[in-house]
Structure 1
Amino acid sequence: MPTAIAVTSADLALPAQDERTLPAVVLQDLDRRPLEQALLAVRALTEQHGHLVVVCSDAVPAGVERRLRTIRSLLESDRIALFRPGLPPLGTAVLARQLRQLASCDLGPGVLASAGRLLTHYLHAGAVLGSLTRLDRIPVDLKAHARSWVPGSQFAVLAHPEPRIVRLGTPGADLPGPEFGTCLLVARGQLQSDWVNSSLAPAWRAQGLREVPLPAESADWWGTGRAIEFCAHLPDLPVLYQLVASVRRNACHWCGLDMIGDRCVFCSAVPPVHGELEPYAGRPPTG
């Protein structure tokens, strides 16, 4: 069985992108269920699929993350990976779907799990907001805060890959977009605006635009429910697979899984340091 990709709420399980996209495992209300029941459910998943990758956003309730770590500890298992990409909820859902696409390919669990960190670099995630007063995940200067109190003001905010805030209706109110072809996913909340469709999509040369419901965690992440969240992403499985397959792989010295990068997502081990460190030679160390 392929590696299972799990999310912590149903609205993070986006519809399949193609016929090969595997369904997401939804760990709904994990912190509200009895511990024994949740433990048995996660154990059954690892026994069925071999490995489990749980993707959750930064806005996931603290109780859910504690429950996940408790379950992983009680199972004494290094076959469960907890991945928090630091993206807004819609971007997190897109990344989880990309991993579901790749789960159907001939990628080992270590490579698949660590591919999430690689694919994060190819996402552009943000939102149109009606207020910045409670936005605390992105730096907001005093001038932008003051402007957000003006009735009717709207702001375009880019959270990833580079934070940027512009006020709609002002000259040069645009956001830096991807330099490669992407599709645009849009989730509308309690805000009326056509800026994403009429301005952002053409400026970013989006090859397609689809709409989905706004994730429940988005209101907490952006500090307001008056938001329209968007995420530009690579939709095609061959492109995703080529990106992952072209990266050099390493074997984890602790659990033996092949992985991308220098840290195993499952056991968190890093390569051991052999020998003495060389003296500083006048330039920053690499790696």
Structure 2
Amino acid sequence: MPTAIAVTSADLVLPPNDHQTPTAALLQSPHSQSLDAALADMTVLLEQHGYVIALYPASLPVAHERRLHTIRAVLESDRIALLKLDLPPLGVAVLVRQMRQLSICDFSVGVIASAARLLSHYVYAGALLNSVTRLDRVPVSLKTHAKSWLPGSQFGVLANPRPQLIRTGDGELAGPDFGTHLLVAKGQLQSDWVTATLAPAWRVQDVQESLLPADSPRWWGTARMIEFAAFLPDISVLYQLVSSVRREVCSWCGIQLIGDRCGFCSAPLSPAEHRTHAPGVLNQGTPTHQGS
């Protein structure tokens, strides 16, 4: 059985790109499930899959995050990885699907877990907003705040991999310089800017629609928005990207990893042990990545 990928919300589980991609397990909140039931569910996952990699957004309520750490502590298990993702909700869902794709590959579980940090650099996650007055995830200048009060104003916002904010018509969002697909989730804003302007500017290869994650309006500070995420869809490209990074052994828990931090115990590697993959490993316009 492949390594289990787990999430904290059902709407973070996107439909698979192919017939091989497994689904993800749901780790419910303390308000929805007792601790005893949560411990029983995790025990079953560990028995069936050996390891569990749980991915959750940094915006997760404190009680739910505390529940995850409690489960790992009570079970005294070093086979549970808890990975906090500093991405918008749709970006988290995209990364979760990529991790589900990797879970069936011939990588060690430590490499799969630490690949989340690497792959997050290749997710271009943002939104089109009618207002930025309540946006606190991306820096907003006083001048932009003032423009937000003008009737008809709309703003393109990029949260990852590098924050950027523009008023539509006054600039362009810096997009990927490699081939991607674009996932779009519509809130209560009516606009074709994402599909008619952003997608051609980013030269995306395909545009797909998705349901808006429940937490997106809170994350972006408004329900009048359209969320989007550009991503690498091909499992062969993901595989090549991950396999190109030099593998190390965690000096704390002994598990194999890539990058500069263990996905299971979070122990960092010393600066001297940082590695990069060979230049040109991703072809046809896909960039190389320096570190993870």
Superposition pairs of residues 150-165 of structure 1, within 5 angstroms: 150-165=150-165
Cα deviation, residue 256, structure 1 = 2.2
Q: In the aligned structure 2, how far is the partner of 1:200 from the partner of 1:32?
A: 39
Distance 1:85 1:13 in 2: 15
The alpha-carbon deviation at position 73 of structure 1 amounts to 1.1
Measured in 1, the distance between the counterparts of 2:190 and 2:142 equals: 25
1:86-110 per-residue CA deviation (whole Å, 9 max, x = no partner) reads: 1101001100000100111101110
Q: Distance in 2 between matches of 1:236 and 1:56?
A: 23
Contact preservation (8 Å) 1:60, 1:217: no
Cα root mean square deviation, aligned: 1.8
Assess if the C-alpha contact under 8 Å between 2:155 and 2:166 holds in 1. Answer: yes
Secondary structure of the equivalent of 1:146? helix
The residue correspondences of 1:78-157 to structure 2 (distance < 5 A) are 78-157=78-157
1:198 to 2:196 alignment: yes
Q: Is the 8 A contact 2:29 2:67 kept in 1?
A: no
Q: Counterparts of 2:107 and 2:204 in 1: how far apart (Å)? A: 29
Contact 1:10 1:28 in 2 (8 A): no
Secondary structure of 2:177's counterpart equals coil
* Structural mapping, 1:1-287, within 5 Å: 1-170=1-170, 173-271=171-269
Contact 1:125 1:159 in 2 (8 A): yes
1:31 CA drift (Å): 4.3
5+ residue gaps, structure 2, are 273-290
Partners of 2:59 and 2:268 lie apart in 1 by 27
TM-score by length of 1: 0.91
Is the contact between residue 13 and residue 26 of structure 1 (CA under 8 Å) also seen in structure 2?
no
**Matches of 1:30 and 1:78, distance apart in 2:** 22
Residue by residue over 1:235-284, the C-alpha shift from the partner in whole angstroms, topping out at 9 and shown as x without a partner, is 0000000000011001122322210123211122334799xxxxxxxxxx
| Stretch moving more, 134-143 or 253-262 | 253-262
Q: Which runs of 4+ in 1 moved over 4 A?
A: 271-274
> Could you tell me which amino acid in structure 2 is paired with residue 145 of structure 1?
H
Equivalent pairs, count: 274
What CA distance in whole angstroms lies between the structure 1 residues aligned with 2:271 and 2:131? Answer: 48
Aligned residue type for 1:265: G
Corresponding residue for residue 279 of structure 1: none
Contact kept? 1:54, 1:82, Cα under 8 Å? yes
Which has the higher mean CA deviation after the structures are superposed, 27-36 or 223-232? 27-36
CA shift for structure 1 position 30: 4.5
Cα separation, 2, equivalents of 1:273 and 1:73: 29
3-state SS of 1:136 partner: coil
The percentage of aligned residue pairs carrying the same residue is: 59
Structure 2 Cα separation of the partners of residues 220 and 177 of structure 1 = 24
Q: Deviations over 1:199-224 (max 9, x none)?
A: 00000000000000010111111111
* Structure 2 counterpart of 1:22, one-letter code: P
* CA–CA distance in structure 2, aligned partners of residues 54 and 205 of structure 1: 32
CA distance in 2, matches of 1:108, 1:151: 53
Equivalent pair of 1:21/1:104 in contact (CA under 8 Å): yes
- Counterpart contact for 1:11–1:216, Cα < 8 Å: yes
Q: Is the 8 A contact 2:28 2:38 kept in 1?
A: no
Partner SS state of residue 83, structure 1: strand
TM-score normalized by the length of structure 2: 0.90
The 1-side partners of 2:169 and 2:178 are apart by 26
For structure 1, the 5+ residue unaligned runs are 275-285
Displacement after TM superposition at 1:124 (Å): 0.7
